[in-house]
Amino acid sequence: MSPDLFDMHCHLGFCANSAQAARELAAQGVGAFSNTVTPAEFAEQQAALADAANVRTGVGLHPWWAGEFDPFADWDRLYGLVARNRFIGEVGLDFSPRHADTRKAQLDALVCVAHACARTGNKVLSIHAARAVDQVLDVLERASVFGGLTGNACIIHWFSGTSDQLARARRAGCYFSVNPRMLESKRGRAYAQAIPADRLLLETDEPASEGAPWDAARVRGLLEETLQQLAALRGDDPAELREHIAQTSRTLLQR
């Protein structure tokens, strides 16, 4: 891919016209990993973005939507989609008070995804882990998603766990995508310094919701801002860090 910056966790399906958004990103020199929140959205976005060479679209079942799924009717479809596609996201767990009532459905969904990834391998997953980092890692490790013959790459987007959980995720070989909001907190900045350079990625997580304002030039600006902040925090040369992150992103986004 030719872009020099990559938004490794965004939601182009929330844009009014995702194909146009992809073209605008390409004009800005930006590649993207566009996440979906349900299998139905993935089907729509897979078709809409089929010609977007700078964008990869993930099969998603966001934990906020997991409670709407029928475990008897929908898991086979989800398993099949994950098994057939390389890019998976957004998936994961959210055990914050607002979403804790769907805990079992979320776990069932993630177990389904993890087993499909373990059986087929060569996946790139973008993972939501809110107040549930250990539980996410437990599910993935039990399914042998990390390492070995499965060879899947797991990206925790906008990491918000504890320092011990960060250390555990690092040992497991996770990647971490960082956005400007993560760097607003002292803890987020400390985590950004602790992530190995070869596991570090950029993201915006935008648009935040369907119909929210979105602009490709602003996306590039946010990625540039995040990159500059990371370089300053880590004491890295900005040009070297840019190329390192871009190369990691290119490798992950290869089909």
Reading the chain (255 residues) residue by residue, the pLDDT tens digits are 589 999 999 999 999 999 999 999 999 999 999 999 999 999 999 999 999 999 999 999 999 999 988 766 788 899 999 999 999 999 999 999 999 999 999 999 999 999 999 999 999 999 999 999 999 999 999 987 775 546 899 999 999 999 999 999 999 999 999 999 999 999 999 999 999 999 999 999 999 999 999 999 999 999 999 999 999 999 999 999 999 999 999 999 998
Among 244, 249, 115, 111, which residue's Cα sits nearest to residue 177? 249
What was the pLDDT predicted at 150? 61
Residue 164's identity, in one-letter code, is: D
Q: Where are the alpha helices (DSSP H) in 96-215?
A: 103-120, 133-142, 163-171, 186-194
Rounded CA separation 109/136 (Å): 11
The DSSP output letter for 74 is T
Task: Look at residue 145 in the predicted model and tell me its pLDDT.
Answer: 75
C-alpha 118/C-alpha 187 separation (Å) is 32
- The number of domains in the chain is 1
Taking a C-beta distance cutoff of 8 angstroms, is the pair 63, 42 a contact? no
d(CA 52, CA 6): 14
Those residues whose C-beta lies under 8 Å from the C-beta of residue 118, and which sit 6 or more positions away, are 143, 144, 145, 150, 152
Q: What is the CATH number of the domain that holds 66?
A: 3.20.20.140
Give the pLDDT score at 255: 86
pLDDT at position 149 is 47
Query: For residues 200 and 248, is the Cβ–Cβ distance under 8 A?
Result: yes
For residue 151, the model assigns a pLDDT of 84
CA-based R_g, the chain, Å? 17
Which residue range forms the structural domain that includes residue 92?
5-253
Contact 136, 129 (CB under 8 A): yes
Burial of 68 (0-12, 13-18, 19+ CB in 10 A): exposed
